[in-house]
Amino acid sequence: MAGFIDSGTSNSVPILLQVLEKKGIAKESVAYVMPTHVHLDHAGGAGELMQLFPNATLLIHPRGARHMIDPAKLEQGSLAVYGEEAFGKMFGRLTPVPAVRVQETEDEFELDFNGRKLVFLDTPGHARHHYCIYDEQSQGLFTGDTFGASYPELNKGKNRFIFPPTTPIQFDPAAWLVSLDRLMSFKPERIYVTHFGMHENLPSLLMLLRSTIESYADTAQELSDSNNREKEIEESILQSSIDYLTDQQCEVDLTTIKMLIGRDMELNAQGLEHWLTTL
């Protein structure tokens, strides 16, 4: 039995197939495709994978199931954020998943996966349709975007760098902090972050992530009356990241830092801008 947690976009599908081939795993042996949430960088390739894996079931948060069955609205929302040309390059096509092959995972749903228990946890904050998965055997959490994003290139300083993706449109700082507390209640030894990699030393990462979520919200509110607030928010949170990396003596030049996280900060500012409209 095999499964995938987060499929990436449809552009990722050939890479995932190569992994199966290298490991000698037949497509028919893939039992589950498990997107942590329906944002396209996590679930965009799930429909195509489901076509390729005849015995697989899609496990999805109840709030996200309808978008996997009919991705038209999901596609429209992403087009609004990225634009048609960028959308095509980044995400390719979206393939619907037949409803009979979709299973909704309620909070604390447990899956017996080859004798290891996986527990699915409702974790809003980044998105209301987000779950994380606790793996008892490894004492690890597959966290999607809930425990932030971290680029290996920026982890060359004294401490690792992690930041919250506040992409539109469901950023909820209060809910996010509660979700983080809930994840830590499982006393995990490690986290598996979709963007990117496995991380330990969780207390220090948690402290940074929590403080950044709070500072993002504070910054957005402080700039809420500005005539150009979205751009000013973007510049402020980017500079905060640069300041942290400089303080940590990260061995990466300013141009590379901006290349790596500049687009993320632009999208984060868009999410914070939308959040301000809901207050």
Instruction: Catalogue all structural domains in the chain, each as residue range(s) with its CATH number.
Output: 2-105 (3.60.15.10), 120-277 (3.60.15.10)
Section 102-130 average pLDDT: 98
- What is the share, in percent, of the chain residues with pLDDT greater than 70? 100
Section 66-87 average pLDDT: 85
Q: Which residue has the tokens 């990117």?
A: 196
The contacts of residue 180 (CB under 8 Å, 6+ apart) are 125, 146, 147, 206, 209, 210
The contacts of residue 213 (CB under 8 Å, 6+ apart) are 125, 164, 173, 176, 177
Inter-CA distances, 194 with 7, 80, 94, Å: 10, 24, 20
Section 64-74 average pLDDT: 93
- pLDDT for 74 equals 83
- Check pLDDT > 90 for residue 255: yes
Section 114-123 average pLDDT: 97
Section 59-83 average pLDDT: 89
How far apart are the C-alpha atoms of 250 and 242, rounded to whole Å? 10
Grade residue 148 by pLDDT with cuts at 50, 70 and 90.
Answer: very high
Grade residue 91 by pLDDT with cuts at 50, 70 and 90.
Answer: confident
Grade residue 85 by pLDDT with cuts at 50, 70 and 90.
Answer: confident
- pLDDT for 19 equals 97
**pLDDT tens per residue across span 155-192:** 988 999 999 999 999 999 999 999 999 999 999 999 99
- The average confidence (pLDDT) of the chain is 95
Grade residue 129 by pLDDT with cuts at 50, 70 and 90.
Answer: very high
- What is the share, in percent, of the chain residues with pLDDT greater than 90? 90
pTM of the model as a whole: 0.94
- Check pLDDT > 80 for residue 25: yes
- pLDDT for 82 equals 75
- pLDDT for 79 equals 82
Section 227-254 average pLDDT: 96
3-state DSSP of the chain: CEEEECCCCHHHHHHHHHHHHHHCCCHHHEEEEECCCCCHHHHCCHHHHHHHCCCCEEEECCCCHHHHHCCHHHHHHHHHHHCHHHHHHHHCCCCCCCHHHEEECCCCEEEEECCEEEEEEECCCCCCCCEEEEECCCCEEEEECCCCECCHHHCCCCCCCCECCCCCCCCCHHHHHHHHHHHHCCCCCEEEECCCEEECCHHHHHHHHHHHHHHHHHHHHHCCCCCCHHHHHHHHHHHHHHHHHHHCCCCCCHHHHHHHHHHHHHHHHHHHHHHHHCC
- Check pLDDT > 90 for residue 80: no
Section 223-238 average pLDDT: 97
Please state, as a whole number, how many other Cβ atoms lie within 10 Å of the Cβ of residue 203: 8
- pLDDT for 143 equals 99
